[in-house]
């Protein structure tokens, strides 16, 4: 009983994708609704024949939590697909601006694209960061840089990668060095955008590099990215597949940045239980029908689940709870870091809800010990243990997690 309660709340959560606990009653109700049965049994091709409750599903679900400045949505079925749709929107916008508003496609463009040749199939790039993870489709995988096991033997596009800041902890001790490191990375981003062999149409970045090692950067760094992307006419895509839906103590990870203008596109999946992208600029809607399209365009059954997730998060104020619980959890972990300075290094995620991680000597063995103690946690990067509890993780769970960690670390 104890173990199942712990597992349900502090576990790795199906690769950080279970938002509000197993067998959640609000979700169960949604799963049994008439709309759900219809969505399952009569699966629509949403781009052509949306069902009568489709608008309500979005309006009272995903659109209710749309990031500021991004009030439009395109639905998808996975984070990879969401990112690729965002890339396509960025490419179409880039060429639209280049071609000039209202200028028709040339015959040469039309015929060459069917042959995968220029000018119809242009050389355009998406810039991403070293250690990033953006998915496993041929486009999203070209932006992914975290591990060879994802990428080896798969053809990819010749797209640039910039360094992501390698911050030193504790942050207050290394403030000057970290600022210099972030400046170095920003300079490199601008250099790549201005010197790459062909135009960089989009930039994609995670608020916290998750799969790549829970790497953080400061709000100033992200503001710098926003400035550079605006200056050089590059679509800024924020990949919130893992950071979205509350775990950082804000609904969207990028809300921690206080940007002077919103990102162009925000993608989501995982805890949303469905996927897609938000955007604000109406010119990101392609200029012709059927350019951004596919048979299903998401899944209304999963969108109904996301509506229930949103309902549950808002009704129980789970984002505030995660922010609050994260503070308490972080100080307990600081205590362990003092007790085991060799085994709990670079503790990070302060003020980022329960999105907390630390480096350790042998993450795989620590995670295995934790599992034997009834707690399923995950690793990331090469030396990191990451915590990804669900949003229902609360103060009462902390002692169980900490005492298991203490035991596991003590026996290392």
Backbone angles phi, psi at 407, to 5 degrees: -65, -45
Asked, as a colleague might, if the bond just before 170 is cis with ω within 30 of 0, I would say yes
Q: Decide: helix, strand or coil at residue 319.
A: helix
- Angle of helix 34-41 relative to helix 300-315, nearest 10 degrees? 150
Strand partners, 205: 238
CB of 258 to a copy of itself, least distance (A): 30
Question: Which residue, 89, 158, 168, 86, is CA-closest to 125?
Answer: 158
**Choice between 79 and 326, CB closer to a copy of itself:** 79
| Of 123 and 395, CB closest to a copy of itself | 123
Active-site pick, 270, 271, 307, 369: 270
Q: Is 262 exposed, middle or buried (0-12, 13-18, 19+ CB in 10 A)?
A: buried
Give the residue carrying structure tokens 């990879």: 80
Nearest distance from C-beta of residue 23 to a copy of itself, angstroms: 6
Q: Check: CB of residue 200 under 8 Å from CB of residue 160.
A: yes
Distances (CA, A) of 59 to 21, 34, 150, 218, 307: 24, 18, 36, 33, 9
250 is catalytic: no
CB of 238 to a copy of itself, least distance (A): 18
Mark whether 295 is an active-site residue.
Answer: yes
Nearer to a copy of itself, 204 or 336 (CB): 204
Instruction: Quote the least distance from Cβ 40 to a copy of itself, whole Å.
Output: 4
Query: Pick the catalytic residue: 133, 279, 358, 393?
Result: 133
Question: CB of 51: closest distance to a copy of itself in angstroms?
Answer: 10
Handedness of CA 387, 391, 392, 396 (dihedral sign): positive
**Which residue, 71 or 123, is less far from a copy of itself as judged by CB?**
123
How many angstroms separate the most distant Cα atoms in the chain? Answer: 70
CB of residue 272 to a copy of itself, shortest distance in Å? 11
Q: Are 130 and 164 in contact (CB under 8 A)?
A: yes
Quick one: CA torsion of 204, 295, 156, 131, rounded to 10 degrees?
A: 30
Which token pair is 404? 């298991």
The residues that bridge with 237 in the sheet, in sequence order, are 204, 265
| Smallest gap from residue 259 Cβ to a copy of itself (A) | 27
Q: Which of 194, 295, 338, 361 is catalytic?
A: 295
Within a 13 Å sphere around the CA of 235, how many CA atoms are in the beta-carbon half?
A: 32
Catalytic: which of 239, 264, 299, 359? 239
178 vs 206, beta carbon nearer a copy of itself: 206
Concerning whether 239 is annotated as a catalytic residue, the answer is yes
164 labelled catalytic: no
Q: Which residues are catalytic?
A: 133, 239, 270, 295
């Amino acid at each position: 009983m104890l173990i199942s309660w712990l597992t349900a709340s502090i576990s790795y959560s199906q690769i950080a994708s279970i938002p509000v606990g197993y067998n959640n009653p609000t979700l169960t109700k949604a799963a049994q609704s008439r709309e759900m049965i219809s969505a399952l049994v009569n699966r629509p091709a949403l781009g052509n024949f949306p069902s009568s409750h489709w608008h309500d599903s979005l309006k009272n679900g995903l659109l209710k939590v749309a990031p500021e400045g991004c009030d439009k949505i395109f639905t998808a079925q996975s984070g990879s697909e969401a990112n690729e749709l965002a890339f396509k929107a960025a490419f179409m916008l880039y060429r639209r601006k280049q071609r000039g508003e209202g200028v028709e496609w040339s015959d040469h463009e039309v015929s060459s694209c069917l042959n995968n040749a220029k000018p119809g199939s242009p050389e355009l790039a998406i810039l991403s960061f070293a250690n990033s993870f953006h998915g496993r489709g041929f486009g999203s995988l070209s932006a992914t840089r975290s591990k060879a096991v994802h990428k080896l033997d798969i053809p990819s596009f010749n797209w640039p990668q910039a360094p992501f800041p390698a911050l030193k902890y504790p942050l207050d001790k290394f403030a000057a060095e970290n600022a210099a490191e972030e400046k170095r990375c920003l300079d490199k981003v601008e250099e790549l955008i201005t010197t790459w062999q062909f135009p960089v149409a989009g930039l994609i970045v995670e608020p916290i590099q998750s799969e790549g090692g829970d790497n953080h950067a400061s709000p100033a760094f992200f503001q710098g990215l926003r400035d550079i992307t605006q200056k050089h006419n590059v679509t800024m895509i924020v990949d919130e597949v893992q950071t979205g839906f509350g775990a950082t103590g804000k609904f969207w990870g990028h809300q921690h940045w206080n940007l002077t203008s919103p990102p162009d596109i925000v993608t989501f999946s995982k805890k949303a239980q469905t996927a897609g992208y938000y955007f604000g600029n109406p010119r990101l809607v392609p200029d012709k029908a059927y350019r951004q399209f596919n048979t299903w365009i998401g899944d209304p059954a999963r969108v109904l689940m996301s509506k229930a997730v949103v309902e549950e998060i808002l009704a129980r104020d789970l984002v505030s709870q995660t922010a609050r619980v994260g503070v308490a959890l972080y100080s307990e972990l600081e205590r362990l870091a003092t007790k085991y300075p060799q085994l709990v290094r670079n503790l990070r995620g302060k003020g980022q809800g329960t999105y907390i991680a630390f480096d350790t000597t042998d993450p795989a063995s620590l995670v295995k010990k934790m599992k034997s103690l009834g707690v399923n946690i995950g690793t990331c990067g090469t030396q990191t243990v990451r915590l990804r509890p669900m949003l229902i993780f609360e103060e009462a769970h902390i002692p169980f997690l900490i005492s298991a960690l203490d035991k596991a670390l003590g026996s290392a």
